[in-house]
């Protein structure tokens, strides 16, 4: 077993190369663009399967597009597996680390476990989940929701992207089997624990100078689509009073959302309008129609619902005062999840063995582990994000930080395996 220092040096180089290989699978433009259920996401899963195969680990891709490898190879179905992994899709022009760090970390663990004769009592599984980002279809964690039985075939025909393409059609286009996703469901008896390595996507670890985060709660997310229909008209001929300007209405809504979050006593309330479209979108026409999305995050579901209701009430009041029609669709409502204290303490002991300080912190971002935690004891290990930036081309974590996280991941897996 290499010393932690050796492991760290070896790993840092290998990890950097692996991260570069995944980052190359992207649409052109700044950052990484590898959206859910696109050809590029499938190529990333094919790369993962090939890297597992290089380690002598066979894998399969399920109907939902998740790719899963297992040690020992070809041992047949055995209960009580220990799993690790994350996702390979990205947001448009996102970073090279979100999700991928957990997948290359799983590969590094698979390589180390396969190479050493340290005993393992349970099957170990290495997972790349499909379609974790909600950027394309509005709902996050799709592949992991399907293994947890939270999203089924009928839902896939309802979820659409901005072009009106359903998730089912996009999956079929990628050669997957949307009609058969029930077959992708995991049996809780097949699992005994799951742990995900992920970048923090916040600044707590960096601010505190701590290399490892142990997540206690993953924030929930309620996502809305708000459509405002006013009256498009001539910007010169139409007097200011009596206008029904959809964009001015939206502007009041957006600033109101920000005000509601800032006023919330609980620091974990976060409300963001991330996308907004304007029609007809011409300089001489008063905007007649605006559609925008709202993402409400919280670590307490009661506060998450209260904040969402306050957002709807505010937008409806502004639209009524301005004589603009409003439609509010709820795209998703994922409650916050408390993660397994047993997995968290195994990771804390692992970090202590490696001489790495830890901090127990909540996650503002959602993760596949949220869904997996409905099936088995699950946890998340964070590594620092430079400046807390994520979902941005400037997302960055050093190879050494990721190597530390991978060393903790490996040691955590052995501890969970030995329970």
192 binds, among ligand HGY, Mn ion, none (CB under 5 to 8 A by kind): none
Q: Taking contact as CB under 5 A, which single stretch among the options 73-81, 126-134, 184-192, 320-328 is the one that binds Mn ion?
A: 126-134
- Rank residues 198 and 289 by Cβ distance to Mn ion and give the closer one: 198
- Rank residues 252 and 333 by Cβ distance to Mn ion and give the closer one: 333
H/E stretch holding 193 reads strand 191-199
Q: Where along the sequence are the contacts to ligand HGY (CB under 6 A)?
A: 132-134, 140, 365-366
Shortest reach from residue 255's CB to ligand HGY, in Å: 23
Q: In whole angstroms, give the CA distance from residue 410 to residue 269.
A: 34
Provide the b/e sequence for 68-94 (b: ≥16 CB within 10 Å): bbbbeeeeeeeeebbbbbbbbbbbbeb
- Rank residues 160 and 272 by Cβ distance to ligand HGY and give the closer one: 272
- Rank residues 203 and 353 by Cβ distance to ligand HGY and give the closer one: 203
Residue with tokens 């505010």: 314
- Rank residues 229 and 293 by Cβ distance to ligand HGY and give the closer one: 293
353 by Cβ neighbours in 10 Å (0-12 / 13-18 / 19+) ranks as middle
- Rank residues 132 and 395 by Cβ distance to ligand HGY and give the closer one: 132
70 binds, among ligand HGY, Mn ion, none (CB under 5 to 8 A by kind): none
- Rank residues 143 and 256 by Cβ distance to Mn ion and give the closer one: 143
4 binds, among ligand HGY, Mn ion, none (CB under 5 to 8 A by kind): none
Interaction of residue 211 with Mn ion, rule CB under 5 A? no
Shortest reach from residue 190's CB to ligand HGY, in Å: 25
Maximal CA-CA distance, the chain: 81
Q: In whole angstroms, give the CA distance from residue 133 to residue 141.
A: 6
Shortest reach from residue 301's CB to ligand HGY, in Å: 16
262 by Cβ neighbours in 10 Å (0-12 / 13-18 / 19+) ranks as exposed
Interaction of residue 98 with Mn ion, rule CB under 5 A? yes
Contact pattern from residue 167 through residue 206 relative to Mn ion, giving x for each residue in contact according to CB under 5 A and a dash for the rest: ----------------------------------------
Integer-rounded Cα radius of gyration of the chain: 23
For residue 134, give Cα distances in angstroms to 167, 186, 196.
11, 22, 19
- CA dihedral (194, 195, 200, 201) positive or negative: negative
Residue with tokens 């050093």: 398
Distance of CA 21 to the CA centre of its chain: 20
Shortest reach from residue 248's CB to ligand HGY, in Å: 29
DSSP code, position 159: -
140 binds, among Mn ion, ligand HGY, none (CB under 5 to 8 A by kind): ligand HGY
Q: Are strands 212-218 and 378-383 parallel, antiparallel or unpaired?
A: antiparallel
Interaction of residue 295 with Mn ion, rule CB under 5 A? no
- Rank residues 302 and 387 by Cβ distance to Mn ion and give the closer one: 387
Shortest reach from residue 135's CB to ligand HGY, in Å: 8
Q: Which of residues 335-374 bind Mn ion (CB under 5 A)?
A: 367-368
134 binds, among ligand HGY, Mn ion, none (CB under 5 to 8 A by kind): ligand HGY
Shortest reach from residue 133's CB to Mn ion, in Å: 5
368 binds, among ligand HGY, Mn ion, none (CB under 5 to 8 A by kind): Mn ion
Residue nearest to ligand HGY (CB): 365
- CA dihedral (89, 94, 99, 105) positive or negative: positive
- Rank residues 113 and 381 by Cβ distance to ligand HGY and give the closer one: 381
For residue 66, give Cα distances in angstroms to 72, 261, 392.
19, 35, 24
- Rank residues 98 and 245 by Cβ distance to Mn ion and give the closer one: 98
Q: In whole angstroms, give the CA distance from residue 395 to residue 405.
A: 17
3-state secondary structure of 143: helix
Shortest reach from residue 307's CB to ligand HGY, in Å: 16
Of 31, 83, 85, 99, which one interacts with Mn ion (CB under 5 A)? 99
Q: Which of residues 128-147 bind Mn ion (CB under 5 A)?
A: 132
For residue 279, give Cα distances in angstroms to 157, 161, 276, 291.
27, 18, 10, 9
Closest C-alpha to 204, from 364, 381, 384: 384
Residue ranges in contact with Mn ion by CB under 5 A: 98-99, 132, 367-368
């Amino acid at each position: 077993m290499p010393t932690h220092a050796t492991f760290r040096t070896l790993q840092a180089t290998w990890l950097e190369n692996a991260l570069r290989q995944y980052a190359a699978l992207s649409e052109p433009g700044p950052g990484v663009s590898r959206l859910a259920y696109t050809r590029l996401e499938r190529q990333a899963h094919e790369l993962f399967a090939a890297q597992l195969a290089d380690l002598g680990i066979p894998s399969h891709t399920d109907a939902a597009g998740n790719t899963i490898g297992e040690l020992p190879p070809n041992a047949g179905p055995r209960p009580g597996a220990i799993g690790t992994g994350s996702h390979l899709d990205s947001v448009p022009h996102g970073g090279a680390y979100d999700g991928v760090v957990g997948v290359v970390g799983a590969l590094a663990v698979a390589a180390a476990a396969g190479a050493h004769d340290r005993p393992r009592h349970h099957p170990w599984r290495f997972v790349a989940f499909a379609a974790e980002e909600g950027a394309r279809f509005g709902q996050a964690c799709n592949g992991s929701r399907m293994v947890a039985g939270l999203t089924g075939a009928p839902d896939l025909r309802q979820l659409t992207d901005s072009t009106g393409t359903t998730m089912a059609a996009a999956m079929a286009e990628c050669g997957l089997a949307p009609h058969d996703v029930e077959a992708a469901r995991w049996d809780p008896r097949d699992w005994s624990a799951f742990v995900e390595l992920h970048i923090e996507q916040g600044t707590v670890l960096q601010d505190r100078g701590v290399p490892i985060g142990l997540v206690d709660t993953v924030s929930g997310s309620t996502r809305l689509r708000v459509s405002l229909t006013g009256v498009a008209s001539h910007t010169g001929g139409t007097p200011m009073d009596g206008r029904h300007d959809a964009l001015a209405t939206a502007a009041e809504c957006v600033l109101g959302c920000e005000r509601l979050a800032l006023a919330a006593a609980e620091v974990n309330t976060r409300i963001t309008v991330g996308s907004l479209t304007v029609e007809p979108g011409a300089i001489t026409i008063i905007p007649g129609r605006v559609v925008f999305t709202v993402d409400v995050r919280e670590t307490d579901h009661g506060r998450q619902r209260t904040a969402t209701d306050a957002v709807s009430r505010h937008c409806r009041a502004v639209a009524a005062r301005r004589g603009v029609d409003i439609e509010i669709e709820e795209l998703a409502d994922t409650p916050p999840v408390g993660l397994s204290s047993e997995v968290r303490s195994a990771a804390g002991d692992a970090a202590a063995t490696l001489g790495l300080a830890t901090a127990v912190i909540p996650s503002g971002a959602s993760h596949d582990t949220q869904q997996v935690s409905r099936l088995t004891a699950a946890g998340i290990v964070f590594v620092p994000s430079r400046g807390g930036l994520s979902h941005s081309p400037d997302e960055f974590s050093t190879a050494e930080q990721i190597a530390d996280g991978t060393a903790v991941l490996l040691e955590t897996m052995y501890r969970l395996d030995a329970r």
